[in-house]
Amino acid sequence: MSVATFAAALLNPAAPCPSGLVTWNGSDAAQRFGVYRNNVTVSLIEALADSFPIVQQLVGDAFFRAMAGEFARQSPPTSPVLAWYGDAFADFVAAFPPVAGVPYLADVARLEYARVLAFHAADADPVPVAEIAACLNDADALPALRLQLHPSLQVIDSPFAITSLWGAHQGSGDLADIDPAQPECALVLRHGLSVEVMAVPAAAGRFIDALQAGASLGDAVQQASDGDTHFDPTPVLGLLISRELLIGLGRKNQQQGEKS
């Protein structure tokens, strides 16, 4: 019996007990395997429930556990670290027919998994404020400035009110007052030991995305201004500085288009 055969049977409740299994005390191998199979599935469902508590609240415990069980059977863990389990859960939810009537559910799942990634992101020391101020005060060099951002920082631009929905389940705002069809851009970050979620303008999200992709400050402002000619990077830069999310400064080489 191969490991693949054993794993496939472990995640398929309709599969028979793999042949060749024996127990140390001579008890029924099929019965013992059934118990083990159930424990594995339950542990995966619990791991998903820990990572996606708001999704669970939105659909109810019984439905969530059934949906999570189906996901676990289709997408077993690829890492022994269960904290990372669920990276494909949002895409699964988006294609899961029974929740087609809750179109925002997949993006709420993306927001929740972004919080998991932010919590476990690597530590990084912020650039000293004095060094940041010196760079920002050099107006001629600003367009070529490159900003390296903290690895916990993530942007989720959604056609749904995912930040408000998430916040309402944390006691911030009334769920009854939220229109889920209102677009929101969510920013997820870790400041110190706390993971924060906040709504930002879509242009601010484009600006941060551009910086994370390696764009210079001038190019990032230009990309953020597509669709918002009045975009002002000052509030976003203030947020990045106040949350200690700037971890590196560089300069675009105008001739070679590289960092210096």
Which carries the bigger pLDDT value, residue 102 or residue 7? Answer: 102
Q: How far apart are CA 59 and CA 44, in angstroms?
A: 18
Read off the tokens for 77: 């863990």
Strand-pair partners of 248: 148
Q: Any residues with CB less than 8 A from the CB of 49 and at least 6 apart, and which?
A: 56, 64, 65, 68
Say whether both 67 and 91 belong to one domain. yes
Say whether both 12 and 95 belong to one domain. yes
Nearest C-alpha neighbor of 175 from the set 185, 156, 158, 161:
161
Which carries the bigger pLDDT value, residue 89 or residue 230? Answer: 89
- Across 214-242, average pLDDT: 93
Say whether both 70 and 124 belong to one domain. no
pLDDT of residue 35: 67
Whether residue 230 is predicted with pLDDT greater than 90 in this model: the reply is no
- Give the chain's end-to-end CA distance (angstroms, integer): 57
Domain end: 77, 102, 127, which one?
Answer: 102
Domain end: 102, 136, 161, which one?
Answer: 102
Whether residue 1 is predicted with pLDDT greater than 70 in this model: the reply is no
> How big is the CA angle at 64 (ends 167 and 189), to the nearest 5 degrees?
35
pTM score: 0.86
The pLDDT-based confidence of 175 (bands split at 50, 70, 90) is confident
Say whether both 90 and 128 belong to one domain. no
Say whether both 21 and 71 belong to one domain. yes
175 CB-side CA count, 13 A: 9
Say whether both 247 and 119 belong to one domain. yes
Q: Is 154 exposed, middle or buried (0-12, 13-18, 19+ CB in 10 A)?
A: buried
183-187, 206-210, 222-226: the lowest-pLDDT one: 222-226
Residue whose structure tokens are 């809750």: 102
Percent of the chain at pLDDT above 70?
Answer: 84
In DSSP notation, 126-158 reads PPPHHHHHHHHT-TTTGGGEEEEEPTT-EEEEE
Whether residue 260 is predicted with pLDDT greater than 50 in this model: the reply is no
Whether residue 150 is predicted with pLDDT greater than 70 in this model: the reply is yes
- Across 3-9, average pLDDT: 68
Say whether both 153 and 186 belong to one domain. yes
pLDDT of residue 26: 72
Say whether both 187 and 246 belong to one domain. yes
What is the CB neighbour count within 10 angstroms for residue 174? 9
Domain that holds residue 56: 1-102
Say whether both 1 and 67 belong to one domain. yes
Which carries the bigger pLDDT value, residue 90 or residue 173? Answer: 90
Say whether both 235 and 174 belong to one domain. yes
Q: What does the CA dihedral 117, 124, 187, 242 come to, rounded to 10 degrees?
A: 150
Say whether both 140 and 203 belong to one domain. yes
Domain end: 69, 102, 135, which one?
Answer: 102
Say whether both 258 and 133 belong to one domain. yes
Domain count, the chain: 2
46-88, pLDDT tens digit by residue? 999 999 999 999 999 999 999 999 999 899 888 888 889 999 9
